[in-house]
Amino acid sequence: MSQYHVAPEDLHDWVRGGSGSIASMSVEQHVARCQDCRSDVAALVASAPTHAVPDLADVWSRVRDEIELPPASGFERLLARLGLPSSDATLVAAASSWRGPWLTALCAALVFVAAAAAASASDSSAGTSLFLLVAPLVPVFAVALAYGPEASGALEQESTVPYPLARLVFLRTAAVLIGSVPVVVLVGLFLPGRLSWLWLLPAIGFTSTVLGLSVWVSPMRAAEGITLGWVAAVACAVRFSTVMAVLDGRYLALYCVLLIAGPITLIVGSRRFGTIGRIT
């Protein structure tokens, strides 16, 4: 046994992590060999305030997390870097809208819209009709696919949590629109005149309507209903006037009303009923 011991103040610094690297190694070597100093260390650790000594269980838990847990997805990390709280980033990243099948479906729809836009740009009325028929429905289905029971599969469990369901839906809707609308807008820029931006009003109005109707029916069912109505409206416009009639002033006002009414209905309805979509 060594006849020399570490000075009490040095031992004190070492226990609290205040020693320099060389002093720390020296103390460590001595303590490993000296029973008396180990006893002093034990006494110092026991008497130290809890915040002064690292919580070993916590340290071990962190080490396990580093080794065992899969890292957050790149998209989740990006959202967190953009300032979204990490819990919200987890919820948004969980939406199926960032998975392969969903993105493939969106790309297929956009190729279709781009073809229609190209045809429309060459002054073809059929191309314009096709574009107006399809383009406003792309965000509608993108949103419906992103959070309905068909998409997450966990709606029943999600309906029993304290987290506000309307907020969950808005978060996912925002994620979907951020992903899909810019691309569709770029495609729309190839269109002539007012059409290049006016079609966005029915698109966003219908998307809002899906949100509102999802209080009572599944988002996909709501999207299907809207599609039927929109196809009928476009067909009537082509039959009795021109397709541009669906972008007439009074209809644009209607789309604006839908845009406002949808989220309000979702907030009020989900709070009142406590669920979204129909569970039977």
Partner 1 sequence: MSTPTVHLSGVGKRFRGAVALEDLDLSLRPGITGLLGPNGAGKTTLLRILATVLKADNGTVSLLGRDPNAPDERTDIRRRLGYQPQELGFPRGFSSFAFVNYMAVLKEWSETRTRQAEVRRVLAAVGLADIATKRISRLSGGQRRRVGLAQALLGAPDLLVLDEPTTGLDPEQRASLRQVLAEIATASTLVISTHQTEDVAALCERVIVLDEGRVHFDGPVKDLVARAAGRVWLADDAEPSAQTSWRTASGGYRNVGASAPAGAELVEPTLEDAYLLLRGTRSSESEAVTA
Residues near partner 1 (CB under 8 A)? 61-62, 65, 68-70, 85-87, 90-91, 94, 96, 99, 101, 149, 151-163, 168, 271-275, 279-280
The rounded distance, in Å, linking the Cα atoms of 48 and 32 is 20
Please name which of 145, 150, 133 lies closest in space to residue 175, comparing C-alpha atoms: 145
Q: Where are the beta strands (DSSP E) in the chain?
A: none
Please name which of 218, 198, 207 lies closest in space to residue 260, comparing C-alpha atoms: 207
Which CB sits closer to partner 1, 60 or 197? 60
**37 is written with which tokens?**
């100093």
In whole angstroms, the minimum distance from the beta carbon of 152 to partner 1 comes to 5
Tokens 């807008």 -> residue: 185
The rounded distance, in Å, linking the Cα atoms of 27 and 207 is 67
In whole angstroms, the minimum distance from the beta carbon of 265 to partner 1 comes to 15
Tokens 């993105």 -> residue: 103
In whole angstroms, the minimum distance from the beta carbon of 218 to partner 1 comes to 13
49 burial level (CB within 10 Å; 0-12, 13-18, 19+): exposed
Which CB sits closer to partner 1, 1 or 67? 67
What 3-state class would DSSP assign to 16? coil
Which CB sits closer to partner 1, 155 or 222? 155
Which CB sits closer to partner 1, 127 or 277? 277
In whole angstroms, the minimum distance from the beta carbon of 160 to partner 1 comes to 4
In whole angstroms, the minimum distance from the beta carbon of 101 to partner 1 comes to 8
In whole angstroms, the minimum distance from the beta carbon of 280 to partner 1 comes to 6
* Residue 191 DSSP class: S
**151 is written with which tokens?**
């998409």
In whole angstroms, the minimum distance from the beta carbon of 107 to partner 1 comes to 18
Please list the helix, strand and coil fractions of the chain in percent, rounded to the nearest 5, in that order: 75, 0, 25
In whole angstroms, the minimum distance from the beta carbon of 86 to partner 1 comes to 6
Tokens 């209809």 -> residue: 251
3-state per-residue secondary structure call for 164-202? CHHHHHHHHHHHHHHHHHHHHHHHHCCCCCCHHHHCHHH
Q: Please list, in sequence order, all residues whose beta carbon lies within 8 angstroms of the beta carbon of residue 198, skipping any fewer than 6 positions away.
A: 247, 252
The rounded distance, in Å, linking the Cα atoms of 268 and 99 is 30
What 3-state class would DSSP assign to 124? coil
Which CB sits closer to partner 1, 96 or 129? 96
